[in-house]
Structure 1
Amino acid sequence: MILKNKSLWRLGFAISLLLGFTACKKQDAIRPSIEKRLSVLDSTRLTQPEKSLSELDSLLQNSKDLNDKEQALLLFNKGEALYLNDKYLEAFNTQQQSHKLFVELKDRYNEARSLVTLSGAALHMGDIETSQKYALQALEMGRSIKDKRIEGKAYNQLFKLHFRLKDYHEALSYIQLTDSLYSTEADTTSIISIKNNKASVYLKLKDYNKALASYSEAMALSQRKRDPKTLVSVLNNIGYTYMQAEEYESAEKFLRGAVTLNKNIKAINAAPYKGLGNLFLLKAQNDSAEANFNRALAIYSSKKDMKEEIDVRDKLIAISIMSGDYTKALNHQAVRDSLQLNVNNLEKDRLLNFANVNYEVKRKETEIQHQKEINRRNTWLLISTVILFIFLLIIAAFSIYNTKLRAANRASKLEQRLLRVQMNPHFIFNTLAAIQNIILDGNPIKSSNHIAKFSKLIRQNFDYVRKESITLDKEIEMVTNYIETQQLRFNNAFAYSIEIEGIDDTSSIKLPPMLLQPFIENAIEYGLKGKKEGGELLLKIEKNGNELSFVISDNGVGRSAKAKDEKITEELHATSVFLERLKMRKKGEEKTFVIEDLFDTDNNPAGTKVFFKLKIND
């Protein structure tokens, strides 16, 4: 009996192990059928994007039959397809789903790949800070798993980020790192792309010789790979480079080479014709320029590339005016204006999509508004006895509208003045200079962090200036960001402290945005800036009942006698804007505002203190 029980126990244990192994295998393994379909979709992602996305969606709809690994890879491929077809918001959301699954699966390689795409999508949507965060995470992960390809992609993403910021020297350092990692890779297409990117930076830096050298390397690789389409693109880029260097004969040689190669491979590419048109226009050979622009125009029109068609038509308008053919110029202008209207509409739709506006909600709101208009018209037609009353209502509505318009105009002017006060050009230029010094010291990570912090401060200013109120914690966060950016400028020559008394939850208190920064700037610029060491800045916020008191004080050199004699304008200290904002609240808070000069025991200037109170709702 005992032996029988032992045999049963062993059999049960063996079955459990088998089931566990099978479950793990199902969870982690990719079925050959799925792997084969992914391989096919990878080759059609660019040539047939809609078909590729439809196939991926069809596979994902049967998610119950997929294990986590298969679902993660399908989501990843869908995100890549969306990204390559310029659907960046959808790509970002899809890649976030795949990234979460890869993290759970502890698949660090694919996790890093998804981070690279997330960084690229965020950059296209204008979110520099998020793009940088994901790129640095991908870089760190690529190093930890010792994958040079991932490292190279992360560096390439950082290159694109700094190129977008027009920080070309930093962009160059990152693309050079990418180039060094890919130099031993077998992926010729990627290496050609890197050489082209490097050349594009040299062009921005006007180092034409190095740009041409990089393009020449790309050309040699294209010839070795026997990739005529890529070679056409490289030849065209070389031609444009020579054009910028004002070596027109060489430019014409390479552009005509691109045209000839296009004809040989029966490819339809307008770029070389456009390049020749620009070249002949620079050489004042208008007939040849017009002929080439017309060839480019025919191709762009057939491909419905409206932006390029607009650019070419602008050139043709100029040529027609120079030749005195105003009818042709007007015809081009009419078509150009129509195209621009379409481009503007498309750009508007893209921006709405990036802002994550819910189209369906907007559509319903429009329908409701439309119904209201219909009801209003019916009321006019059916109830003739109230015409006079409605007429009076219209007059009242116009009066209210004009009043609101004047108030909006006043608020807009105040907003512009406030933004000018907040965004002091000297502060921006000096901060950028300080960041540049860090870059020159060879600390890319530190410089990237300071750029991210500075860009966040700029974004906070633009975001908050249009809001009626923000929470106290956000105001403190922005002020802290500003002070620390100023500390970067002055190499931490002063210290600061923020004291909060009587407030348990700063996120529950609302106040007008951007009240404190101008006075903190004055404390630094006109007080602490002249103090070589031992500078201290204090911001104290205290709640008493339904009042919030603010004190901004410094132990700087104080307001100079010369400044007092000249009666520093209210605009210099931002007081006029500040007081006007308080007056608009109609709570009498402007009467609490005081600027006090501080003196030591010997009656020498010892700093400045600003004090005011705000009334808040409990």
Structure 2
Amino acid sequence: MILKNKRIWQLSFAMSLLLLFLACSKQDIIRPNIKNKFARLDSIAQTQPQEFFLELDSLVQNNKDLTTLEHAMLLFKKGEILYLNFKYQEAINTHLKSYKLFVELKDKYNEGRCLITLSGAYLNVGDIETSQIYALKALHLAQLIGDKRIEGKAYNQLFNLHFKLKDYNKALFYITATDSLFSKSVDTASIISLKNNKASVYLQLKEYNKALNSYSEAMHLSQSKREPKILASILNNIGYTYIDAGKYENAEKFLRGAATLNKNIKAINAAPYKGLGNLFLLKSKNDSAEVNYKKALSIYVANKNVKDEIEIRDKLIAIAIMSGDYVKALDNQIVRDSLQLNVNRLEQNRLLNFANVNYEVKQKETEINHQKEINSRNQWLLISTMLLFVLLAIATVFYVYNTKLLAANKASKLEQSLLRVQMNPHFIFNTLAAIQNITLEGNPIKSSNYIAKFSKLIRQNFDYVRKESISLDKEISMISNYIETQQLRFNNVFTYTIEVDDAIDVTKIQVPPMLLQPFLENAIEYGLKEKPEGGKLLLTIEKEAQELLFVILDNGVGRSAKAKQEELTEDLHATSIFKERLKMRKKGEEKSFILQDLFDENNKPSGTKVFFKLKL
């Protein structure tokens, strides 16, 4: 009886092992019928992406018994094609799911592949930090398992990241590391990508012949490989290189070739149209430039590529202004500003989320360490002390966080107020009207110069308002641009001089952006514009010990009673905003501010003086 029971137990144990083996095996295999369907999907992925997605989704829905590996591979393939079709956020969501499954399967090779694509997708949506985390993780994993292919791709991704950051020295280092791994590879696609990246570095270094040679090698390889989408991208890159080199006929030939090839393979890519727009704009063929920019714009809008859309709208604004169509320019400017605000808001939210995640991780690590210490000592007194310490730490962190949040909110409101003061509609429309008058007078060169100054001024205002500080030379450049724009408005009824102490290194000293413009505007609006001739505006910047001294003088007609009344409100002249910005620096600089009316020997108004100090 005992022997019989023992045999029954052995048989049951063997059956359990068999079932366990079958269950595990199901998770780690790709069945032949599914392999055939994978092959079908691979054959249409590049040329028929919509059909690819339909068949893949159908495969998932109609096969409920997919193994974990099959499911993971389907998600991986879908993520790759989403990435290649510029749907980066969808690619991220899909690859995160496949990555999780590969981790469960302990499939290190495919884990690495997922990490590479995730890094690339995050880079394309502008999340540099996350992109770098995934790229370094892929590099570590590749070196751990000894996979040179994934290691090379990780180096290549780090190249892309530093290239986007314009850190060309590190980019060159990583592309050289990639080259050392792929120099003997038979992977044509990887070699093509490598040569493209090399060419990109050479292009930034203005070594056009080396860049064109690398692109030419990549082009021949892609032709032999019969990769039309890659070939179209290379043709586009060659076109951009010829534009940079000033060879416009060659540039047009390759860009049109890229656009035609994309159309033939039904690939959606705005880059050739954007390149043609740039080319025609350089050749002063504004109508052709506008047509191609609009083609690129429609693709960027459809793909929700907001940053590229902003760039194209900037070009269309410039073309509209040059064509005298100010309504169209204003319409595009309104859309462009709205997009930029959304980009800024998303960036702020992303940074806040990133900070919150880091805080939660550090908090958990701290709690674990505290618990280990408590368990090791096993003393109630220590437990009470540590808990009290944790509570105090949390309260302090929340207090600091809340303080920073309030400060950020205050800074945001101050930034908005500053921007409204700096770029009021009255100034914009008067400047546009002045440029229009010059255009109607038949002076295109002068008109073009002022359009460039005005566009640069708008760009500077939007770029600098978000910064805590900028170099003094940038501040001087911006106010020079602003004063010259005002000279255009008032037909040069005044001159200006900027005197900077020789002891000041304007490239190294940092100052809050756009401090001077409101007072220069006051000097012009309330003093100099009413003076028929001989108006002078003087800005002096001196260094005294560890302080910068700023003096703004004008010899205008003086502030009127109405202007003084408005000054008392401190709204129109932005004095309150100015003082608030200095108070936020917490250096007591606002106490040095002086606004003084000047009078001649007959006690008649002879101008205005503004004085204040900044501590270095």
TM-score, with normalisation over the residues of structure 2? 0.50
Structure-1-length-normalised TM-score: 0.49
